[in-house]
Amino acid sequence: MKCSHCSREISEAQSYVYQGKVYCDDCLMDIGLSTRECDPWATFADTRSQKLLRGSKSLNEAEKKIYDFVKSKGKATREEVMKQLKLSETDLKLQLVPLMHADLIKERSEGGTMYLIIPTGK
């Protein structure tokens, strides 16, 4: 397969799908995305961007479904989200990165189980 940004030939293991397009690791970074969920600098930058874009629709369809599902349940495990929305672990992780960077979803431990939650006031 080819990266939709640089057209470099990449394997499936080297590819990332974001908003329906396939990217290599370098181009994913070039467009400003990090594949790390816990990235303080990305969280700061995305939170600032969200404040500037307040009122606009900045979530893609998959991100919105994840956000709405977690919000409707109050908290959900990754497994519950994957099962409900029919996502692979990789797909869920890629969709969670921008949500976590924008501080729209957080993860916390309760009794040894990790839950996705909506931060207070969101």
pLDDT tens per residue, range 8-45: 898 877 777 777 778 887 777 666 655 555 555 555 55
Asked if 105 and 117 count as a contact pair (C-beta separation under 8 A), the reply is yes
Cα–Cα distance for residue pair 35/103, rounded to 1 Å: 15
- Quick: pLDDT tens for 18-27: 777 788 877 7
Is 48 found in the same domain as 21? Answer: no
Tell me which residue range forms the domain holding 14. 1-33
Cα–Cα distance for residue pair 8/22, rounded to 1 Å: 11
Low-confidence winner among 4-8, 15-19, 46-50 (lowest mean pLDDT) = 46-50
- Quick: pLDDT tens for 61-100: 888 999 999 999 999 999 999 999 999 888 898 888 888 8
Residue 68 lies in a domain: yes
Residue 122 lies in a domain: no
Is 40 found in the same domain as 29? Answer: no
Cα–Cα distance for residue pair 80/85, rounded to 1 Å: 8
pLDDT score recorded for residue 118: 93
Is 45 found in the same domain as 18? Answer: no
Give the count of domains, the chain: 2
Residue 16 lies in a domain: yes
